[in-house]
Amino acid sequence: MTKNMGGRQLTGAQMVVKALKDQGVDAVFGYPGGAVLPIYDEIFQQNEIRHFLVRHEQAAVHAAEGYARSTGKVGVALVTSGPGATNAVTGLTDALMDSIPILVISGQVPTFMIGSDAFQEADTVGITRPCTKHNWLVKDTAALSGVLHEAFHVARSGRPGPVLVDIPKDVQFASAEYLPPTKVSTSHYRPKLQGDPAEIERLVALMEGAERPVFYTGGGVINSGPEASRLLRGLVEATGFPITSTLMGLGAYPASGDKWLGMLGMHGTYEANMAMHGCDLLINVGARFDDRITGRIDAFSPNSRKVHIDIDASSINKVIKADVPILGDVAHVLEDALALWKARGSRTNAGKLGTWRKRVQEWRAVRCLDFKQEGAVIKPQYAVSRLEALTKDRDRYICTEVGQHQMWAAQYMGFEAPNRWMTSGGLGTMGYGQPASMGVQVAHPESLVINVAGEASWLMNMQEMGTMVQYRLPVKQFILNNERLGMVRQWQELLHGERYSQSWSEALPDFVKLAEAFGAKGIRCQDPADLDDAIVEMLDHDGPVIFDCLVEKHENCFPMIPSGKAHNEMLMTNARMQGAINATGAVLV
Amino acid sequence: MPPLKLKKGSTSHSAYNLRPTFSDVQERHTLAVLVDNEVGVLARVIGLFSGRGYNIESLTVAEVDHEGHTSRITVVTTGTPQVIEQIKAQLGRIVPVHDVHDLTVEGQVVERELALFKVQGTGDKRIEALRLAEIFRANVVDSTLDSFVFEITGDVGKIDAFADLMRPIGLVEMGRTGVAALSRGARA
């Protein structure tokens, strides 16, 4: 192919392994197949990069996501052509929606067979174009190392996201010169990090005058790195403003902090949503005004000036008009804002702020998350609360699947640090949590990793128990089993005349026997009195556990902003649910 | 709880009537998008428009720098001011996109399109076609005893007007390139 320019000649397959090492990758999640055999052959002949054999390619991508979210590094998955690549699509879309930096390497049929409908051929770059930040089909081995380094650069720069590199089998066999990351000039793609100083000055001026301010933070704070969380805490302390967060941003500000309002949005707390509705200054830090957050847009935070800090220009003014748009990286912008706040000797509007804090205190006093554990059946909220109480002081990572249990975990668990909470927010991917928890455990082998799950979501990727047992990944699968698709059931109760169409799992497996069949430990608990002991038994077991927690079957998740309603129209209990959603709201999801 | 009374196909119940009301005014903008001429770049741009429900009125693309392998995509689109801003921001975050120029807001624009028209007819119709072509400064690029192919360049309005005139005379086929555009003045 190309002439030797003095660099090292490597095969394409060797380049893949070398590039991963040079990029600091220590774990890859994947599944072999015909079109990636040369790469697997290279993986076999080295020990620096550990490969984890998943049971389904979707799980490889979610595991890479879990790895990335809990470390801030780029997660890597390796799949074969055709079905291997198409199985990766859900994970790629999930990572795109939640801005998670991952690299998927897919095998492809040899270049001379592309377009011939060859065995296990799929137009992988075509299929994944709308669900990646960028993707590449590499048809020349000489270009491969450059593309791989560029792929890492694109995945982690700016608003992070998934990238895919599709490598035909003949390109893996052919040799060319390998270029290390230092020798590759990455593209023009260099998103702006620094915010406009004039806009930051407007932000500081608004903070000085604000009477009813609130910080509304999101996943952008987590993605910007631990420094962003530190600076955010500094700014909250300096101003004393209350702070809420989206599902994605939990942990950026500690749940034990006295300015913490809890999560906002559809299942957010009363105090967070009321503060959003009543504020006069809304400071959005790395969130995107998602429809789960805003509710009815024309009634969203009607009397506030809105500041929006985001690294992605397309997020600003997409849904909600920003009065002060600040395009830049969260950490950079917060650093400048905090420095300016201090340099100006800024003071908050203390008198008005005191009144605002009192109102927030009144909303808090509603105690919207209170519940009563009565009788012989475990309430799911109680199960999550006990799990929280028994694990909160440990070095702990929490993943979830998608549904009611996810919201209860977000409501009843407290996150003190960033990168400790892995959940599928934007795409809402059932089946995400179990493989993600696997990826987290790989990245943090000594830590406690728990996947809070619903039985229906969990079954979607249950095959990964095999992976956990094979690699002795001691992840705890904490399943809130209500034998229902709980969130679907809740919406049917609310919206569809209590006609529970297909939301009942009639033939569930015996989860204890299932655990044993995989060679793991199974624990079942159905009595509230046994719950603490059972959780401790789960935590004490040195290995993967499936915890089958039988809970109240018809519990609904509150508070809830019904679709098409405003933040101050929250439902707090079942009593007011009937007829709460009108026809216009019903078409929303 | 009474069943929902949603009319089938009713747009008044669309989720989108809950969208923000920035402004309803539809604007027509001509965007110039400078991209790396790499495989699939046009698909990325077109996929963005279809995937997010934006309009494409016209689209032209060609490599304009053969050494640097950069192409210029000229796209004419319509939307509310907020949608236009979204389109530009979304285009801007595609990795191989270097620059997005909104020619419509950056000043005066020269827009040109090339079109070919096949007109059939004999006798008076043939003479009338030639007369009109002369008025519109269209050139004859092919002729038989009972047909012409005209070549015409101009802005979209001129070509539309020529087509309207030629249709009753015997316009049987038309090919249009879509708009190429540059800003007026010395600045690039």
Could you please report the per-residue DSSP string of A407-473? HHHHHH----STT-EE---SS--TT-HHHHHHHHHHH-TTSEEEEEEEHHHHHHTGGGHHHHHHTT-
Q: Could you give the maximum distance between any two Cα atoms of chain A, in Å?
A: 78
Question: Of B17, B47, B92, which has the smallest distance from its Cβ to A313's Cβ?
Answer: B92
Helix (H) or strand (E) holding A310: strand A305-310
Cα–Cα distance, B155 to B162 (Å, whole number)? 11
CB contacts of B95 in chain A (<8 Å) are 133-134, 154, 187, 189
Around A12, how many Cα atoms within 13 Å sit in the side-chain half-sphere? Answer: 29
- The radius of gyration of chain B from alpha carbons, rounded to an integer in Å, stands at 22
The answer to whether A587 touches B14, Cβ cutoff 8 Å, is yes
User: Does the pLDDT at position B10 exceed 80?
Assistant: no
Closest CA of chain A from B186, distance in Å: 26
Interface test with B, best of A127, A135, A318 (most B CBs within 10 A): A318
Residue A317 to residue B86, Cβ atoms within 8 A:
yes
CB contacts of B96 in chain A (<8 Å) are 134, 187
Binding-site residues on chain B for chain A (CB distance < 8 A): 1-6, 13-15, 17-22, 36, 39-40, 43-44, 47, 51, 82, 85-86, 89-90, 92-96, 98
- The one-digit pLDDT tens for each residue of chain A (589 residues) are 444 455 689 999 999 999 999 999 999 999 999 999 999 999 999 999 999 999 999 999 999 999 999 999 999 999 999 999 999 999 999 999 999 999 999 999 999 999 999 999 999 999 999 999 999 999 999 999 999 999 999 999 999 999 999 999 999 999 999 999 988 776 788 899 999 999 999 999 999 999 999 999 999 999 999 999 999 999 999 999 999 999 999 999 999 999 999 999 999 999 999 999 999 999 999 999 999 999 888 899 999 999 999 999 999 999 999 999 999 999 999 999 999 999 999 999 999 999 999 999 999 999 999 999 999 999 999 999 999 999 999 999 999 999 999 999 999 999 999 999 999 999 999 999 999 999 999 999 999 999 999 999 999 999 999 999 999 999 999 999 999 999 999 999 888 889 999 999 889 999 999 999 999 999 999 999 999 999 999 999 999 999 999 999 999 999 999 888 888 888 887 655 555 666 666 677 6
Q: Tokens for A528, please give them.
A: 């509230």
CB contacts of B43 in chain A (<8 Å) are 126, 129
Closest CA of chain B from A314, distance in Å: 5
Q: Residue A261: exposed, middle, or buried by beta-carbon count in 10 A (0-12, 13-18, 19+)?
A: buried
Among A279, A261, A258, smallest CA distance to A368 is for: A261
Around B34, how many Cα atoms within 13 Å sit in the side-chain half-sphere? Answer: 14
Closest CA of chain A from B117, distance in Å: 35
CB contacts of B4 in chain A (<8 Å) are 495-496, 583, 586
For residue range B134-158, list pLDDT tens digits in order: 999 999 999 999 999 999 999 999 9
Three-class secondary structure of residue A157 per DSSP: coil
Strand order in the sheet with A162-168: A50-53, A27-30, A75-79, A102-108, A162-168, A134-137
Q: Is the dihedral of CA A7, A13, A16, A21 positive or negative?
A: negative
Among A486, A554, A555, A550, smallest CA distance to A524 is for: A550
Model confidence at B15, in pLDDT bands (50, 70, 90)?
A: very low
Cα–Cα distance, A317 to B19 (Å, whole number)? 12
Cα–Cα distance, A204 to A333 (Å, whole number)? 11
Cα–Cα distance, A583 to B7 (Å, whole number)? 10
Cα–Cα distance, B69 to B58 (Å, whole number)? 23
Residue in A closest to B52 by C-alpha: A130
Among A316, A241, A317, smallest CA distance to A280 is for: A241
Catalytic residues of A: 57, 119-120, 169, 487
Neighbours of B105 (CB within 10 A): 14
In single-letter form, the type of residue at position A43 comes to I
pLDDT of residue A569: 87
Closest CA of chain B from A129, distance in Å: 7
Question: Of B15, B39, B96, which has the smallest distance from its Cβ to A587's Cβ?
Answer: B15
Q: Which residues, in sequence order, are bridge partners of residue B112?
A: B180
Residue B5 to residue A583, Cβ atoms within 8 A:
yes
Q: What is the DSSP letter of A182?
A: G
Residue in A closest to B12 by C-alpha: A584
Interface test with A, best of B95, B97, B102 (most A CBs within 10 A): B95
pLDDT of residue A564: 80
